[in-house]
Amino acid sequence: MQARTPNQAAYQRLRTEIETKFPKGRFVAIAAGRIVGDAASFEELETTLRAAGLRQGESLVVEAGAELPEYVNIFI
C-alpha cells in the first residue's frame, strides 16, 4: 500500500498528459512515477499489469477524463 502515495503524486504531475494523450474512458496505470500501461477496460489493464509482473497495489489506475476528488477516505 505504500506505493500509492508516490503514484498519487505522479498522477498529479501526469494528469494533463493523461487527459491529452488518452481518450476519455481509457484506463491508465501509473507505477514508479510513470505511465506503465493503458487499456479500454479495467480488466484488460489488470491482465496486462500482471503479465508485466506488477502486483496488486503497486500501481494506481485512473480513468482518463473522469472527475476525481482531490482526496478520498478509503476504509478497508
Each domain of the chain, given as residue ranges in start order, spans: 4-63
Average model confidence (pLDDT) for the chain?
87
Given a contact cutoff of 8 angstroms between Cβ atoms, the answer to whether 12 and 19 are in contact is: no
Backbone angles phi, psi at 74, to 5 degrees: -115, 125
pLDDT tens digits, 29-45: 999 999 999 999 999 99
State the pLDDT at residue 28.
Answer: 97
State the pLDDT at residue 10.
Answer: 94
Residue 31 belongs to what H/E stretch?
strand 27-31
Classify residue 72 as exposed, middle or buried by CB count within 10 Å of its CB (0-12, 13-18, 19+). Answer: exposed
What's the rounded mean pLDDT across residues 54-76?
79
